[in-house]
Homo-oligomer: A and B are copies of this chain.
Amino acid sequence: MSTAVKAAIIGSTGYGGVELIRLLASHPKVEVTSVISSSSAGAPIAEGYPHLTEIRTDLLDDVDPALIKSKADVVFIATPAGIATKLTPSLLAAGLKVIDISGDHRLKSRAEYETWYKKEAAEQQYLDQAVYGLCEVYGDAVQGVDLVSNPGCFPTATLLGLIPAVKEGYIDPATIIIDSKSGVSGAGRGASLGTHYSELNENFKAYKINKHQHIPEIEQVLSDVAGQKVVTTFTTHLVPMTRGIMSTMYATVTGDHKVEDFISLYRNYYEGRPFVRIRSNGTWPATKEVFGSNYCDIGFAYDERTGRITIISVIDNLVKGAAGQAIQNLNLMMGWDETEGLKFVPVYP
């Protein structure tokens, strides 16, 4: 293990951080040498996460760039928004490679970040430097860089489901409507009425309609791909389950493309990218079919009566939507096969 790349995880006590620990435990080329939490430094990580008993017996480190540099080559930032903005300059200066899973480096415009996140944005140079790590789309740009911004969970499912059609003009971008549903783990481990079992079990609800901070991220990428400003309608819902995201997307088809054309288009676009699976005509993916894995599965339905295509895209929000894609980005940064350490079969049932 001495030749392994050494990784540190800031925010190890959050769900994204603890999922990194799980996934990296079986990565053949990476060793997690420091688990970091500003709030619980000094405590054994297994105290708050007993499933790690005898798996990780180390104590949580405090956030200290010099200490991190002494222990690691690469650092994942899996904190709430606002923290990576402050830490990234010193981590990069210390010579670390940084993969930011929080949203701090996704939007290229400081003003847009501050409008949607209600926090001070990172300096422009870091926003410019950060490569947006949607691996199947921007993977080439990730290779060799020092700062990657890992996409949000909703944007990952949504963009992988829309980009080929938008890029090739199979749908009218002005008509895109995105109806997304997420399991509760997306809200993090913080305790509140909004994450209380008795309030969410046997319940289904919408939240942050038209206000979610993932909207500008989705639109930034779609605009880039379309070569024109794209504005979308985006609704998020909470599903009484722990993991999983589905985006159900609607758009008006241009020309006379049918489902088979979409399937061909997407299979071509994602050829050689094993984590995107395009379903056959007449079947659509369910969230459980990617549970615990790095897959994004996509299916289509076309309605002749309305001329609209319905696109279904699912991921595990903690894997492809967070920790898994972050590792995929690390693989790409290091020039390794992008599937290294990620070939998990979904846990079913």
Q: Counting CB contacts under 8 A, is A243 at the interface?
A: yes
* Interface set, chain A 297-322, CB cutoff 8 A to B: 297, 301-303, 305-306, 308, 310, 312, 314
| Contact flags A35-59 to B (C-beta < 8 A → 1, else 0) | 0000000000000011111110000
Given contacts A25-B345, A191-B196, A303-B210, contact A242 B292 (CB under 8 A): no
Residues of B within 8 A of A233 (CB): 250, 303, 306, 308, 310
Q: Counting CB contacts under 8 A, is A21 at the interface?
A: yes
* Interface set, chain A 154-212, CB cutoff 8 A to B: 177, 179, 181, 183-185, 187, 189, 191-193, 195-207, 209-210
Q: List 26 A-B contacts (CB under 8 A).
A: A18-B348, A21-B345, A26-B343, A49-B348, A51-B288, A51-B290, A51-B346, A53-B289, A53-B297, A177-B308, A179-B179, A181-B204, A183-B204, A184-B198, A184-B201, A185-B198, A197-B200, A202-B242, A202-B291, A205-B288, A210-B302, A232-B306, A233-B306, A235-B310, A239-B239, A347-B347
Known: A15-B198, A189-B349. 18 other contacts (CB 8 A): A22-B345, A25-B345, A26-B343, A50-B279, A53-B279, A53-B289, A53-B297, A177-B250, A179-B248, A187-B198, A191-B191, A197-B197, A201-B241, A202-B243, A205-B288, A210-B301, A210-B302, A210-B310
